Amino acid sequence: MQEIKLRYDVIIVGTGVAGLNCALNLPREKSVLVICKRKLKECDSYLAQGGICRLRGDFDYDSYFEDTMRAGHYENNPAAVESMIRGSQEIIGDLVNLGVEFAREEDGSFAYTKEGGHSAPRICYHEDSTGKEITTTLLNAVKKLPNVTLAERITMLDIIECDNECYGIVAMDNKSQEVFNIFGDYTVLATGGIGGAFGNTTNFGILKGDSLAICLDHGVAVDRIDYIQVHPTSLYSRKRGRRFLISESVRGEGAVLLDKNFNRFTDELKPRDVVKDAVFAQMKKDGTKFVWLDMRKIPAEKIAAHFPAIVQRCKEEGYDVFKECIPVVPAIHYFMGGIRSDLRGRTTMNRLYAVGETCCNGVHGKNRLASNSLLESLLFAKRAAQDIAAGYAPSDRQKEAQAVGRLDGEKYKKPAKLLEKYKKHVIKAVKAAREGKDYNENYKEN
Ligand SMILES: Cc1cc2nc3c(=O)[nH]c(=O)nc-3n(C[C@H](O)[C@H](O)[C@H](O)COP(=O)(O)OP(=O)(O)OC[C@H]3O[C@@H](n4cnc5c(N)ncnc54)[C@H](O)[C@@H]3O)c2cc1C
């Protein structure tokens, strides 16, 4: 970890796959700062289990496109979907070149798994810890770059902006509580989802949508923020804290959902929102707090090889997946909405980009198809880096000074309160969106 300077060419907020891949694809002569709120590994990217989609070949294009659109209730941006699918081989190729190890068939070709909503197996995976494998590899690659500074436990409290142009961020050192400005010609928000604002979530608790609230405050457009995906199967537990996900690929490989009498009650491979509704309906009918998931339909050797982390975690919670069913319950999982961005990651504010789960370019529509998220985050973060590089122009220092002049020092005197306020903004804005109100207008800070 290095010391933070006052000025960088590009500031990236977030060390998940989106932030890291953006840093990796920026020109080496540009100075880049990448910060995160807590530890480097405390990001949802690290938690991803199931895998990452890859277009197997042109023969699968129409089917993959249709699966993504159907899962998204046809509210997806077709151009974004096409771009993501067409770019998937490039992204998987980049990952392999960096050293990511995906499961392979005996002949060396990719082994593909399947998840709900997919009409064919097209998901590359690394056991049930694909996110850890990818994020660790990206992190190691970024750490080797002399032009990139990685800084943990630095929280973005605000953006520095004037006349719809961004000049950097207001940040806080979590340890010393010191608040300071960091200037950048370009700022990239890669701050992940918002599950932490709501609880009962598979997300890290720190991911509360800070940048969403900041964008709302500064009039940066956001879209579809009521589109929050609830995953049908997290491990039921009475303990507090983050919910442990039971990957959909478990069902893709044959696991079935059972009611209180151990009877099947739904098609487990429908898109997530459909299965989630079926689980909730069954819990209501049975008067239970969970339904059962039976992994014993999967051959034992396959369970051991493909799902070691799930086996281990269930064991820690007192369940032997080889011998018994496990209790599962839906949990808040993924944010389809977010800061409006185009296919180059540009937001409605100049010099401000948003990539990964925090942004909304419409690729997922109303409901994300399984294993499209890592891909989307990686691809559009790379495109944002390429866009910054192609149009690079230093920002105007006079305007930057004006933007600093507009900062309200009082606002940052109690950072914890400010962050709590942001969380409340997010919850309020989501509620407004659900009620059909114009949250872009209604939730500016005053
Ligand atoms: C349990 C689980 C399993 C999943 N499985 C899959 C899967 O199999 N396949 C798939 O495609 N997707 C999966 N997903 C979704 C996928 O992991 C995420 O959508 C994706 O990794 C998001 O990446 P990101 O870089 O946008 O955000 P993240 O990886 O969440 O990173 C967010 C970063 O932003 C930082 N940050 C946030 N706020 C601030 C702030 N105010 N100041 C400074 N830093 C800040 C955080 O510290 C963190 O570093 C899964 C998600 C979960 C939770």
**Contact 355/34 with Cβ under 8 angstroms?**
no
The one catalytic residue in 224, 242, 272, 351 is: 272
Residue in this structure with the two tokens 């409006």, named with its chain if needed: 340
Mean pLDDT of the chain: 95
From 15, 7, 24, select the one nearest 384 (Cα to Cα): 24
How many percent of the chain have pLDDT more than 70? Answer: 98
> Whole-angstrom distance between the N-terminal and C-terminal Cα of the chain?
37
- Find out whether the beta carbon of 202 lies less than 6 Å from any atom of ligand 1: yes
- 239-252 residue pLDDT tens: 888 999 999 889 98
Contact 53, 64 (CB under 8 A): yes
pLDDT computed for residue 116 by the predictor: 87
**Would the pLDDT of 2 be above 70?**
no
Helix (H) or strand (E) holding 231: strand 228-235
| pLDDT higher than 70, residue 386 | yes
The distance from CA 280 to its chain's CA centroid, rounded to whole angstroms, is 24
Beta pairing, strands 165-173 & 179-189: antiparallel
Q: CA–CA distance from 442 to each of 7, 281, 341, 435, 439 (Å)?
A: 34, 34, 20, 12, 5
Count H helices and E strands in the chain, helices first: 14, 16
For residue 377, give Cα distances in angstroms to 189, 238, 251, 302, 361: 12, 32, 24, 29, 11
CA distance linking residue 31 with residue 252, whole number of Å: 43
Q: Per-residue pLDDT tens for 135-161?
A: 999 999 999 999 999 999 999 999 999
For the chain, list the domains and their CATH numbers: 7-227+336-442 (3.50.50.60), 232-330 (3.90.700.10)
pLDDT at 445: 47
DSSP letter (8 states) at residue 262: S
HSE-CB for 269 with a 13 A CA cutoff: 15
Catalytic site residue 296? no
Residue 110, pLDDT > 50, answer: yes
The pLDDT assigned to 3 comes to 83
User: Strands 123-124, 256-258: parallel, antiparallel or unpaired by DSSP?
Assistant: unpaired
Which amino acid residue places its CA nearest to atom 14 of ligand 1? 48
Q: What is the mean pLDDT of residues 383-391?
A: 98
Q: Which pLDDT score is estimated for 403?
A: 97
Q: How confident is the model at residue 14 (pLDDT cuts 50, 70, 90)?
A: very high
CA angle 324, 330, 331 (to 5 degrees): 120
Which residue's CA is the nearest one to ligand 1's atom 50?
48
For atom 10 of ligand 1, the residue with the nearest CA is 371
Question: Does residue 357 line the site of ligand 1, with CB under 6 A?
Answer: yes
pTM above 0.85, yes or no: yes
Percent of the chain whose pLDDT exceeds 90: 93
The pLDDT of residue 1: 47
DSSP 296: G
Cα(44) to centroid(ligand 1), Å: 3
Q: Is 192 in the pocket of ligand 1 (CB under 6 A)?
A: yes
Ligand 1 site-directed mutation target among 374, 378, 425, most atoms within 8 Å of CB? 374
80-91 average pLDDT score: 98
DSSP characters over 64-79: HHHHHHHHTTT-S-HH
Give me ligand 1 centre to Cα 388, in Å.
Answer: 22
Q: Is the CB of 18 under 6 A from ligand 1?
A: yes
* Predicted local distance difference test score (pLDDT) of residue 374: 98
Gap between the Cα atoms of 58 and 88, Å rounded? 12
Q: How confident is the model at residue 446 (pLDDT cuts 50, 70, 90)?
A: very low
**pLDDT tens-digit series, residues 168-196:** 999 999 999 999 999 999 999 999 999 99
Q: What angle do CA 23, 28, 34 make, to 5 degrees?
A: 30
Ligand 1 pocket, mutate which of 364, 373, 380, 423 (most atoms under 8 A from CB): 373
Q: Which of 253, 265, 224 is nearest to 363 (CA)?
A: 224
Q: Compute, in angstroms, the gap from residue 205 CA to the centroid of ligand 1.
A: 11
The answer to whether 207 and 192 are in contact (CB under 8 A) is yes
d(CA 428, CA 426): 5
Nearest CA to ligand 1 atom 37: 191
Tens-place pLDDT, residues 303-343: 999 999 999 999 999 999 999 999 999 999 999 999 999 99
Residue 376 confidence (pLDDT) above 60: yes
* Cα-to-centroid distance, 23 and ligand 1 (Å): 16
pLDDT tier, 233 (very low <50, low <70, confident <90, very high otherwise): very high
pLDDT of res. 74: 97
Q: What is the mean pLDDT of residues 363-392?
A: 97
- Residue 422, phi then psi, degrees to nearest 5: -60, -45
Per-residue pLDDT reduced to its tens digit, 262-286: 999 999 999 889 999 999 999 999 9
Tell whether ligand 1 has an atom less than 6 A from the beta carbon of residue 191.
yes
> Pocket of ligand 1, candidates 44, 187, 358: which has the most ligand atoms within 8 Å of its Cβ, to mutate?
44
Q: Whose CA is nearest to atom 53 of ligand 1?
A: 203
